[in-house]
Structure 1
Amino acid sequence: MLLSRLKTPCAPGWLRVPQEWHLLLAALLIYVGVVLQAVAAEPLTIAAGAGYKRPVAELAAAYERSAGIKVETFFGNMGQVLAQTAQSERVAVVFGDLVFLENAGELKFARFLPAGKGRLVLAWPTGRQLASAQALADPAVARIALPDVRHAVYGKAGSEFLDRSGLADKVQGRLITVATVPQVSAYLVSGEVDAGFINLTDALGLRERIGGYIEIDPALYGEIRIVGGVVAGREDQPGVAEFGSFLQGAEARAILSRHGL
């Protein structure tokens, strides 16, 4: 009797789902698919001081290839970068000097990803040669470009070097302050200045377009630790944790080393 009952087919419609349920389920699946697609398409946004455009852009491209996550970047003087980062909720990582980022006012960082040490150089345009940094004492070096001390760490480093080397008084009246390292570099390439303070990263990128450069003794300016600051509250954005791991890998370290970090 029990066996015959088990073999008895169910009445028609016993497991039938109402048509409106099918429609609801289909709509729900479409919605979930759209949400997942939007999350997957959300780019990781990285910002940096203009003096590190080359390495950061290369890091972003390499990470995008390896992780399959779209990366957007923007660059400027650090004052601009921090202001835009504070206004936009999309920026997740900011590259810059550790001390500068730690004192960024209202903008806070959850953690810092080590990138390398920044190195100050004195560069000159094609057609000129400086034997040493002390050559700046010569009045013939009439125009010396320096990034903005308030917003560019290499402006601060250049100013510290001039003070500690005893050159500050000797170059008075010949310093030209510009906003960023790339602006100093542009003046060097065009020959509008006789010398300028930039970072090694930019000097390496310009070595075929300028006369040359010399590294400044690190003992004559404060240590520059370049890091990627993960903005507090945005550390869980898609791709941030993976980017932190990528930054410590062999490919990223090779890129940073190639750019003088």
Structure 2
Amino acid sequence: TMDPEWIEQRFKDFLVSENFKNLGTDRMVKDRDPHSPMSQIAKRVRDQFVLIMSLNKTFILKKERLKNAFSFLLPVKTFEELKISLQVTATDIQTGEYQIYSSGDLLEAVVQSGSIPGYTEPTYSGDKIIVDGGVGLPNPVSILKPLVDFTIAVDVKRTIVPDLADLNIYEILQRSELIGYTKFLDHLLKESDFVIKPNTMNLHWSQFNYFNELLENGRKSAEENLSALKKKISRNKSPSYRLKQWFVRTK
């Protein structure tokens, strides 16, 4: 569908559906007051539980539940039915190679691309173990560059907050991973022609209860960037700019 109002309403309907409840994301929301004594105790218990679970299981959420959720959200089931062409990425964690889907089963492609490592059951295909596309390519600008004249990226990464008062091995590993991911994503974003950075309030990805605030922040950011975006597109269309880019690519 090309109707943004339908998309917005469909997602709101999803947030009150059984399909959403079955994802269990409400149990992953970060503590409201991470500095309170009870929150600190709960955090220590949770960290120990996660470490024990990670030694015995490969996922928490079955793939079928994620598939039901996307089936509810998607208006079509194949790439060929889409009105705007789409490239979907996933990652084979056996080799680190990207998996790119652009035809056939849209639902399966989106499920593979949205399978968060350690949380959602991965897809096994031959020797491949396929998970979230964001693992290998958190912002797939490089995939689109050869296919389009102009790329727009949306930067929704979390900000690195200097709050490591309660140091332990788990916290150090998490922070190290976040820093590496952030630097890599910043590098990828430089490949885009234009970047929009809405205020995500530094929320955890599972905090869907902030949907309305995030939607409004996204609209506000798009409106604030609209004038600059139009100028950038106009500049990129000019013959002189295209000639300059051609010389850069052929060097």
Q: Say whether the fold is shared (TM-score over 0.5).
A: no
- Choose 1 or 2 for highest CA Rg: 1
TM-score (norm 1): 0.24
The structure richer in strand per residue is 1
TM-score (norm 2): 0.25
The structure richer in helix per residue is 2
1 or 2 for the larger relative contact order (CA 8 Å, sep ≥6)? 1
